[in-house]
Amino acid sequence: MEKLTEEKNKADHPELVLLYAMFAKHQVPSEPKTISPAEVQLAYAAHFKNANEDQIANAGPSRLAVFQQALIRSWVALSKDLIKYEVLPLEAAIMVVAAFEKSLIPNGMRFLSSSVYTQRMLWIGERVNQQTGWAKLAWTHLLISTLAMKGPLEAAITALEDSRSGRKLESDVRELISTSMRTLAREHVALYLDELESQLYKFYKSSFSEVLQDEAEINHLRDLQKSINSDDKKKFKQEISKLATQRFAEAKSKLLGQLGLKLVI
C-alpha cells in the first residue's frame, strides 16, 4: 500500500491509481470479471499480466482482506515475541515473509475451503467467513501455526541472518529464537482448535438436520430438542456433543498432521 501510494502521488502509472482506489475500499474479487467499473478490470489485467496463472491460483487466499490483516497481526505477534532476543520489527517482518513463502507458496499449506479444519472457521461453504471478530482472528491463528513446521522455521532464521549481511546467529541464540517461535506457533494452534471445537458444536446444534443422512436419527434429535423434559434436553446436548467431537477429532488430526505436530499439543 505504501508503494502504491508513492506511485499514485507521482501519477506516472494511471492503472495504479485505479488499483489503489480499489484496494483501499474493497478486497480483490476471486473472479476478475466481477470487478466494476470496467476501467478497474483493465487495471487489474495490467497489474497481473506478467504473473504466472498457477501462482495466482495458489495464492488465492492471500488476496483476501482477512488474510492480509492476519499477515499484519502475525508480524506484530512475532515482533513482540522476539524483541527480547533483539530481533527488530523490520527483521521480524522479513522472517514472517520468508516463513510464509515456504509454508504457503506454491505447494505448501493452503487454507482451502475444502479442508476439514478450515470449514466453519475460515470458510462457510465457498464463502469467506468474516462475520465475527473471532473469524478474522482464526486466520491469524492458522498463519502463525505454520511456524511450527521445520521448513518455514528454518527459512525464517535464514532470512534473519541474511538481513544481517549473512552473519550467522550464535547457536544458543538460534535455539532460543527457534524455541520461542515454535512455542508461539503451538499457542496459536491451541487457540485455533479451541475455537474450532466451540464452533463445530454450535454448527451441529443448529444444523444437524442438514448434515446427517439418517432420517430416523434426525427425527430422534428433533424430538429431544423440542421436548420440555430436562433429561431429554440433556440427552440432546450429549448427542450433539458426540457428533461435534467426532468431526473435531478428524479436523484436529488433519491439521496437526499438516503441521507435523503430535496429536497431543
Each residue of 177-234: pLDDT tens digit?
999 999 999 999 999 999 999 999 999 999 898 888 889 999 999 999 999 999 999 9
Q: Which three cell numbers stand for residue 179?
A: 524455541
Q: Which residues contact 36 (CB under 8 A, 6 or more apart)?
A: none
What is the reported pLDDT for 133? 81
**CA distance from start to end of the chain:** 38
Q: Would you put residue 211 in left (φ > 0), alpha (ψ -120 to 50) or beta?
A: alpha
Residues 101, 106, 108, 111, Cα dihedral to 10°: 90
What is the reported pLDDT for 12? 59
* Regions of the chain short of the pLDDT cut 70: 1-61, 105-110, 263-265
CB contact at 8 A, 23 and 1: yes
CB contact at 8 A, 208 and 216: no
What is the reported pLDDT for 232? 93
What's the distance, CA 34 to chain centroid?
A: 24
What is the reported pLDDT for 89? 93
What is the reported pLDDT for 22? 57
| Closest among 15, 74, 57, 4 to 40, alpha carbons compared | 15
